[in-house]
């Protein structure tokens, strides 16, 4: 980390995917917002969306098209039961998938929850220059995911980071 440089703060949108969560009990969304604020980034928008692939896709598509949003974090809907459909909603929107994110997430998660981590369909990718990270809905998984993501969203991280690759920032 090169602390002699200034952090280039990012605009990050947060989506909680749930049929039952409200702003009052959305612990995972709050963890993500607290972490991004602590890291020096800005909250572009926060929303809770039901487990419906078309509603998820509509909002994420709007954020992808919005030049002021550089990163999207979703929490919830990545499991294998019921209405879990976040990966199905997001994957068609991606220009490129960042497969290493899910691999690292499950490797770290294995240390915490053992083989239960195979049920996580954590996903990351880029669409229209916007980075998207889809995390499980548990607060522990959101913290684990943020711990992986945070350095890549820090423009001072070396040898490389995702922030320096965001076209909307490099054009400034």
Average pLDDT over every residue of 120-145: 97
29 in Cβ contact with 16 (< 8 Å): yes
Q: Is the pLDDT of residue 79 over 50?
A: yes
pLDDT digits (tens, 9 = 90+) for 28-74: 999 999 999 999 999 999 999 999 999 999 999 999 999 999 999 99
Task: Say how far apart CA 74 and CA 78 lie, in whole Å.
Answer: 9
Output the pLDDT for position 170.
56
128 in Cβ contact with 64 (< 8 Å): yes
Strand ranges across the sheet with 123-127: 42-49, 11-17, 71-75, 130-135, 123-127, 96-97
- Where along the chain do its domains lie? 11-170
Output the pLDDT for position 99.
96
33 in Cβ contact with 43 (< 8 Å): yes
Output the pLDDT for position 140.
96
127 in Cβ contact with 64 (< 8 Å): yes
**pLDDT averaged over every residue in the chain:** 94
CATH of 11-170, one of 3.40.980.10, 3.30.230.10, 3.30.930.10, 3.90.79.10: 3.40.980.10
Output the pLDDT for position 172.
46
Average pLDDT over every residue of 92-98: 98
């Amino acid at each position: 980390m090169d602390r002699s440089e200034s952090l280039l703060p990012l605009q990050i949108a947060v989506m909680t995917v749930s049929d039952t969560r409200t702003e009052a009990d959305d612990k995972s969304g709050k963890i993500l917002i607290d972490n991004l604020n602590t890291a020096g980034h800005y909250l572009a928008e926060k929303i809770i969306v039901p487990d419906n692939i078309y509603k998820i896709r509509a909002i994420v598509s709007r954020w992808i098209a919005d030049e002021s949003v550089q990163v999207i974090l979703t929490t919830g809907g990545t499991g294998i039961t019921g209405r879990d459909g976040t990966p199905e909603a997001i994957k068609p929107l991606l220009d490129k998938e960042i497969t290493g994110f899910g691999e690292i997430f499950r490797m770290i998660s294995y240390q915490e929850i053992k083989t239960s981590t195979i049920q996580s369909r954590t996903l990351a990718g880029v669409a229209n220059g916007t980075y998207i990270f889809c995390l499980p809905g548990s607060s522990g998984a959101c913290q684990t995911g943020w711990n992986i993501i945070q350095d890549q969203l820090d423009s001072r991280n070396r040898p490389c980071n995702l922030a320096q690759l965001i076209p909307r920032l490099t054009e400034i």
